[in-house]
């Protein structure tokens, strides 16, 4: 399937005012307020630098965190970090569509870059509507008249239907930026031309998304095996009839995931051995130490990782795969004693000859932290967007770009 959207190559951008939506949402130290990691800014630098080099007047829209969180802050510091990464002075203004902001946009010279304020400071940005409805909200209504072209490079947020992400495509010529373009081409090509055996490794905490992916890839024949870890594995073990201990059952119930246990029972019944769950798990015992126990003898302690025997089984399946998709860590990898599952799975992926995709979020961070980033074929910049795509859902921001291209 070819996704037909415009890219930067489809427009003559010299002298044009180009609005670029990026995702430079970054970890911020809650005490000092200092940005701790500029990975996403480096990622989007390719698009911004290209637009600047081609003589566009570049206006950047972005968000940082969300209301109520400690790292919900202005983008002033982001402008300094972007300036260093681009080796271009990135201007910043502490508003989105004030008279001053609009005048600054109108007065931009060719190749200049201006970063506007955190779009989530504006309440409409948190309301989800259709692209056509979002085009009538205040951010697009105020900015679209002074913009020539809209470029969406925020793949990591492409599953969100918010004004800054989908509201410009119905009213402006629109294109995918280089990050968006690469992500969609790599992921869609891997899905459309999957080589078998194909293995999906699903872990982490976002079990509802993971089980949707599991259902989709087994139904459509993409996956030969789905290996489970993290909370996903606990739900599968519960569904398979194992006593995972009161504390782990309570965790599932407290998150309102009982419906996922029922859903998993049906999937196990239908797909059997294609769904692989651990044969042993790691718990933190009374002494605070890691202890590996078989799944039919789990005591009433929290499960924090898959066990050593499971790791061996998973690694064997991974190393024989031709295509590998991984989303979510195997356990509480931030704690060294429970990092073994995540580290060994990533090591198996890195040493496999198969085409490998790491699906963003925590597993991407773990891949980099553990030094495997150069040994996998693609690390996605967006966990949520990637997992939505893999579960067969359409990404609303991408659909908006496709509709714009049709016009």
Residue 30 belongs to domain with CATH number: 3.40.50.1260
Rounded-to-integer distance, Cα 390 and Cα 205, Å: 17
Which of 290, 378, 373, 381 has the alpha carbon at shortest distance from 331?
Answer: 290
- Whether residue 265 is predicted with pLDDT greater than 70 in this model: the reply is yes
User: Token match 């504006």: residue?
Assistant: 122
Strand partners, 28: 35
- Whether residue 2 is predicted with pLDDT greater than 70 in this model: the reply is no
Question: Do residue 97 and residue 153 come from a single domain?
Answer: yes
Q: At 191, which helix (H) or strand (E)? A: helix 178-192
Question: Do residue 213 and residue 285 come from a single domain?
Answer: yes
Instruction: Classify residue 389: in a domain, yes or no.
Output: no
DSSP per-residue letters across 229-254 = -HHHHHHHHHHTT----HHHHHHHHH
- State percent of the chain over pLDDT 70: 99
- Whether residue 206 is predicted with pLDDT greater than 90 in this model: the reply is no
Contact by Cβ (8 Å): 183, 22: no
Question: Do residue 134 and residue 265 come from a single domain?
Answer: no
Q: At 259, which helix (H) or strand (E)? A: helix 258-271
pLDDT tens, position by position, 73-82: 999 999 999 9
Question: Do residue 201 and residue 177 come from a single domain?
Answer: no
Average pLDDT (304-324) is 97
pLDDT tens, position by position, 321-360: 999 999 999 999 989 999 999 999 999 999 999 999 998 7
Reported as a pLDDT band with limits 50, 70 and 90, residue 3 is low
pLDDT tens, position by position, 133-165: 999 999 999 999 999 999 999 999 999 999 999
Question: Do residue 162 and residue 272 come from a single domain?
Answer: no
Contact by Cβ (8 Å): 19, 33: no
Average pLDDT (275-299) is 95
Instruction: Classify residue 225: in a domain, yes or no.
Output: yes
Question: Do residue 26 and residue 144 come from a single domain?
Answer: yes
- Whether residue 28 is predicted with pLDDT greater than 80 in this model: the reply is yes
Long-range pairs for 285-289 at CB < 8 Å and ≥24 separation? 289/337
Reported as a pLDDT band with limits 50, 70 and 90, residue 391 is confident
Burial class of residue 239 in the structure, from the number of CB atoms within 10 Å of its CB (0-12 exposed, 13-18 middle, 19+ buried): buried
Instruction: Classify residue 81: in a domain, yes or no.
Output: yes
Instruction: Classify residue 376: in a domain, yes or no.
Output: no
pLDDT tens, position by position, 210-264: 999 999 999 999 999 999 999 999 999 999 999 999 999 999 999 999 999 999 9
Rounded-to-integer distance, Cα 40 and Cα 22, Å: 9
Which of 199, 245, 192 has the alpha carbon at shortest distance from 224?
Answer: 199
- pLDDT at position 392 is 85
Question: Do residue 146 and residue 235 come from a single domain?
Answer: no
Question: Do residue 40 and residue 143 come from a single domain?
Answer: yes
Question: Do residue 163 and residue 288 come from a single domain?
Answer: no
Question: Do residue 136 and residue 40 come from a single domain?
Answer: yes
Question: Do residue 14 and residue 111 come from a single domain?
Answer: yes
Q: Which are the contacts of 199, defined by CB distance < 8 A and separation ≥ 6?
A: 223, 224, 225, 226, 227, 317, 318, 321, 323, 324, 325, 354
For the chain, what's the residue count? 407
- Whether residue 24 is predicted with pLDDT greater than 80 in this model: the reply is yes
Rounded-to-integer distance, Cα 143 and Cα 105, Å: 9
Which of 264, 226, 233, 262 has the alpha carbon at shortest distance from 248?
Answer: 233
Residue ranges for the binding site for (2R)-3-phosphoglycerate? 40, 120, 160
Q: At 287, which helix (H) or strand (E)? A: none
- Start-to-end C-alpha separation, the chain: 20
pLDDT tens, position by position, 39-54: 899 999 999 999 999 9
- pLDDT at position 184 is 95
pLDDT tens, position by position, 107-138: 999 999 999 999 999 999 999 999 999 999 99
Q: What mean pLDDT, rounded, does the chain reach?
A: 95
Instruction: Classify residue 145: in a domain, yes or no.
Output: yes
Contact by Cβ (8 Å): 49, 80: no
- Backbone phi, psi, residue 11, to 5°: -130, 145
Reported as a pLDDT band with limits 50, 70 and 90, residue 387 is confident
Rounded-to-integer distance, Cα 54 and Cα 146, Å: 19
The tally of domains found in the chain comes to 2
Please report how many Cα atoms fall inside a 13 Å half-sphere around the Cα of residue 216, on the Cβ side.
17
Q: Which are the contacts of 367, defined by CB distance < 8 A and separation ≥ 6?
A: 346, 358, 373, 376, 379
Residue ranges for the binding site? 23-25, 40, 63-66, 120, 160, 334, 360-363
Which of 131, 32, 28 has the alpha carbon at shortest distance from 72?
Answer: 28
- pTM of the model as a whole: 0.88
- pLDDT at position 258 is 95
Question: Do residue 224 and residue 170 come from a single domain?
Answer: no
Rounded-to-integer distance, Cα 164 and Cα 174, Å: 13
Residue ranges for the binding site for substrate? 23-25, 40, 63-66, 120, 160
Instruction: Classify residue 379: in a domain, yes or no.
Output: no
Instruction: Classify residue 344: in a domain, yes or no.
Output: yes
Domain residues for the domain of 331 are 196-353
Average pLDDT (287-307) is 96
- Whether residue 384 is predicted with pLDDT greater than 90 in this model: the reply is no
Instruction: Classify residue 3: in a domain, yes or no.
Output: no
- pLDDT at position 360 is 72
């Amino acid at each position: 399937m070819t996704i037909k959207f415009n890219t930067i190559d489809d427009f003559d951008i010299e002298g044009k005012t180009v609005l670029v939506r990026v995702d430079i949402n970054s970890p911020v130290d809650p005490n000092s307020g200092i940005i701790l990691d500029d990975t996403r800014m480096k990622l989007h630098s390719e698009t911004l630098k290209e637009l600047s080099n081609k003589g566009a007047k570049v206006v950047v829209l972005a968000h940082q965190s969300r209301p109520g969180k400690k790292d919900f802050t202005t983008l002033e510091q982001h402008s300094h970090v972007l300036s260093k990464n681009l080796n271009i002075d990135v201007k910043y203004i502490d508003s989105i569509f004030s008279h001053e902001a609009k005048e600054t946009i109108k007065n931009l010279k060719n190749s200049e870059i201006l970063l506007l304020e955190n779009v989530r400071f504006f309440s409409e940005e948190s309301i989800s509507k259709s692209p056509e409805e979002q085009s009538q909200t205040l951010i697009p209504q105020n900015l679209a008249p002074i913009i020539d072209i809209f470029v969406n490079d925020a793949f990591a947020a492409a599953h969100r239907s918010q004004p800054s992400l989908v509201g410009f495509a119905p009213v402006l010529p629109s294109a995918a930026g280089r990050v968006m373009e690469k992500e969609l081409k790599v992921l869609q090509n891997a899905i459309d031309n999957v080589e078998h055996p194909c293995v999906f490794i699903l872990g982490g905490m976002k079990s509802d998304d993971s089980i949707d992916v599991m259902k989709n890839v087994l139904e459509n024949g993409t996956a030969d095996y789905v290996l489970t870890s993290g909370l996903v594995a606990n739900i599968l073990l519960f569904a398979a009839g194992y006593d995972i201990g009161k504390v782990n059952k309570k965790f599932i119930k407290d998150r309102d995931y009982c419906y996922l246990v029922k859903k998993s029972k049906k999937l196990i019944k239908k797909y059997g051995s294609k769904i692989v769950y651990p044969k042993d798990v790691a718990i933190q015992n009374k002494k605070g130490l890691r202890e590996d126990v078989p799944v039919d003898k789990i005591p009433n302690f929290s499960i924090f990782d898959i066990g050593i025997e499971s790791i061996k089984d998973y690694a064997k399946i991974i190393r024989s795969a031709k295509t590998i998709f991984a989303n979510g860590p195997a356990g509480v990898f931030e704690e060294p004693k429970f990092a073994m599952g995540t580290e060994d799975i990533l090591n198996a992926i890195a040493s496999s000859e198969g085409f490998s995709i790491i699906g963003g979020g925590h597993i991407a961070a773990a891949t980099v932290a553990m030094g495997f980033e150069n040994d996998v074929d693609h690390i996605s910049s967006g966990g949520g967007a990637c997992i939505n795509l893999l579960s067969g859902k359409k990404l609303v921001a991408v659909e908006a770009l496709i509709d714009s291209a049709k016009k």
